Structure formats: structure tokens, C-alpha cells
Amino acid sequence: MWKKWIGKKNTDFATIDGCDGVDLSRLPRHIAIIMDGNGRWAQKQGLLRTLGHRAGVESLKEVVRAASNIGVQAITAYAFSTENWKRPDEEVSFLMNLFSEYIDRELDELDSENIKIRFIGRIDELSNVLQTKFENAQTRTVNNTGLILNLAVNYGSRDEITRAVKIIAQKVVGNEISVNSINETMIDHYLDTAGVPQLDLIIRPGGDYRISNFLLWQAAYAEFWYTDINWPDFKPCHLYAAILEYQKRDRRFGGLNKNSTL
């Protein structure tokens, strides 16, 4: 069992069960999660697919709390992709309502846990009601200094990169910048994840092994961790297992490790 001082005040104390062996000084700074398998989880039990999404909210809450408690700096959770509009209208509406409900129910607690909530993706294409809720949640938590929770809603990485390219192209056309000044740092700056620590680990439950248009640029040297467990069954122990595995990986970023011989 680990014990660690956490929270806004250094008198706050938490006991962290189940993360034995996790080196808290070498945590992934930013973890992305593709919350997959909700529909299958529900169907296996003879339930409507939408109930899988509802159960998925519980997993998100537990995992965010666990990550925040051990000191992970940022989580980006894929909640709705730019391609998810292809799903039946009822499922899309259910999900939109679920996002709204989540903010109504969880914002106080997220705020009290010092979590900074942000929404990434084409938020401007969502309903006005949802946009207002998202903006309020962001504004209310903007000064929080704990874990950054990015919720990707109507998010697609190709769309994100295309938007960044358009902004940069406009600046070139307007003579604000030269073509030669375009570099990776500038592109990072115009992505939705600007200001969030480098992505270190991507977790995909649900048994598929693809990236599904999620954080393509940011994933350049992130480590992947897959599991067959469906997202509603994903618990903090699975998060710790992913982090333990991450801490065993030899991250070379295209170079060589210290022990390599020529």
C-alpha cells in the first residue's frame, strides 16, 4: 500500500490502495484513454448499448480520481469522435445528454478535487446548451492546479491538425509569420492540447488495436497499452497495471539506450 500527500493543502492525506510497485516519481505525465467496449459490455448482459455508456461514466470517474490521487498531470478521454455522428440518432442523443448530465452532476466534485476540466474537439458544432455548459465548466476550473482532464467530444485528430494548419496558413497569408518559422512547437501550439504535458501513454480497453483518429500528432512517442477488458469493467487497478507496464518500457525516442554498444 502506498501513502502519499496529495491535494490542495499539504495537510490532505490519501491512502492509495492497489498501486503497489508503481514508481510515483516516474509517472506518465499525460495519459490518453480510448473508452471503448461500452456497447459490447451492455449487449453481453442483454442491456441496451446506451447503458454501457452510462456505466462507462462510472469508470471515467474512478479512473480520473485514481490518476489524480497518484499525481498524473493530465488525462485525455475520448468521449465522442467526429465519426461517431454515423451512429443511430438515439445513441448520439443519449451520449449528448450524458455529457450534459455529467457536467451537472460532477462539476462540483471535480472542482473541489482541484481538477481542471477542458473540452477538445469541434465544440462549436454541439448544441448551444452543451457549449454553454462546457464553457462554464472550463471557466470555473480554469485556475485549478491539479490534474487536467481533457474530454474529447466531437474530436478527430485529422480535423484538429487540419484546423491548426488553416490557422498557420492564414498567418502566412497575412504576413504575420514566414513559412520558415513554422516548426513543431508552433504546430503544437495550435492543437487542442496546447499547454498540456507531452502524451506518454495511451490506454485502449475493448480489445481493438487501433488509434481511431485520436491524438495522432501527440502520439508520436507515446507508449500503447491494450486490454480486452471493456471500458465499464476498467478499474483503477487496470490503470495501475498500465502504468507499471509503461514503467518497464525502454523509451528511446528514436535514440539508443545507455547500455547499447556500437
36 is catalytic: yes
Q: Which of residues 98 and 219 has its CB atom nearest to ligand FPP in the complex?
A: 98
Exactly one of 6, 30, 82, 102 binds ligand FPP (CB under 6 A); that residue is 102
User: Which CB atom, from 84 or from 247, has the smaller least distance to ligand FPP?
Assistant: 84
- Please give the residues from 39 up to 78 whose contact with ligand FPP meets the rule CB under 6 A: 39-40, 53, 56-57, 60
Q: Which stretch binds ligand FPP (CB under 6 A): 12-20, 35-43, 123-131, 251-259?
A: 35-43
Q: Could you tell me the smallest distance in angstroms from the CB atom of residue 227 to ligand FPP?
A: 14
Q: Are strands 13-16 and 2-5 parallel, antiparallel or unpaired?
A: antiparallel
205 binds ligand FPP (CB under 6 A): no
In the list 35, 126, 164, 241, the residue contacting ligand FPP (rule: CB under 6 A) is: 35
Taking the complex as a whole, the smallest distance from the CB of residue 81 to ligand FPP amounts, in Å, to 7
Q: In the annotation, is 84 catalytic?
A: yes
Residue type present at position 87: R
Known catalytic residues? 36, 84
